[in-house]
Amino acid sequence: MRADRLVSLVLLLRQRGRLSAATLARELEVSTRTVLRDIEALSAAGVPVYAERGRHGGFELLPGFQTELTGLNHDEALALLIAGSRRGAQAFGLGSALASAMLKVVDALPEGHRDTAADAVQRLLIDPETDLLSRRLDTEEVPDTIVAEVRRAVFAGHKLRIHYAATGQTPKWRTVDPIGLVTVRDQGYLLATRSGADRTYRLSRIVAAEELPEPAQRPDRVDLDRAWQERSTRFRTGGDQVTVLLRVYPTRREDLVSTALAVLAEEADADGWLRLEVTFQDSRHAEWALWQLSTSAEALAPQWLRTALRNRAATIAARYECQPES
């Protein structure tokens, strides 16, 4: 860990010039005392870093100092920087490692391309935290210690013991055979088997995790994309899910699709509206989703959903029928 931090410290000084101990500590997520010890270690190793005292002082490298990192061309580094700006690494507890890697990517560029690549990244925004309607995207915080333990078991091919809190249940310990990790819309999942049966665990619901020394029972080769698709299909077609036939105005189609579990069929109506057959998690989910679309959608079947929406609209209309006294 310290070796990686020392490299990151050197790269920060190369790319930004003179930096104070407080700034370096904030960037490296350590104390200023640790930064000072790292500076001493770099000096002892022959890295030409020196201190400039005064109000605007800080630490700086001698001009012309070069690190020995593999070179990348401009487009290769830009592609890595764009990929690194996505939040998937956060879901797997690799945020700090990603930040360190991005410093190395920028530093590996030819000197003439370094500034242009950094400037190009500032002109691109990938997966912002909110959409155009200021709706915040759901993100889940998972302790790094838990994710790191899960990740080690996955990569080592070892069994994993997890303290898992399923929906509406108290946490229970269970031993699983990990297969892989998946991130979807900033939510992380562990794909595993338990007693030979497929299981999918949400990382945010793992209270504790312990890598075991025993080898996991898993295929030699796994197609994670296919495994995820198969499990998604089983999820969408099981439980209390309901299928709804509806009409929706084209401009609200994406709002509908973003809340539904799956679109089973779709065709255009003669009046320009879209007719879709979709599935929802349960009856409450279906009623809520259609109500959000107001007059831009119409449930055609089943009848109980039409009745529920009509009753809700009648209740709202009755409540606002009389003006309150001033």
- pLDDT tens figures, 126-176: 556 666 556 565 666 778 888 889 988 988 889 999 999 887 788 999 999
* Phi and psi at residue 12, to the nearest 5°: -60, -45
pLDDT at 275: 95
pLDDT at 69: 47
pLDDT at 268: 92
Question: DSSP secondary-structure letter at 169?
Answer: S
Between CA 156 and CA 153 the distance in angstroms is: 5
Q: Cβ-count burial of 210 within 10 angstroms (0-12 exposed, 13-18 middle, 19+ buried)?
A: middle
pLDDT digits (tens, 9 = 90+) for 83-124: 555 555 555 665 566 666 666 666 655 565 556 655 655 555
pLDDT at 177: 94
Those residues of the chain that have pLDDT short of 50 are 68-71
Q: In sequence order, which residues have a C-beta less than 8 Å from that of residue 267 and are 6 or more positions away?
A: 274, 275
Residue pair 160/216 in contact (Cβ under 8 Å)? The answer is yes
pLDDT at 100: 62
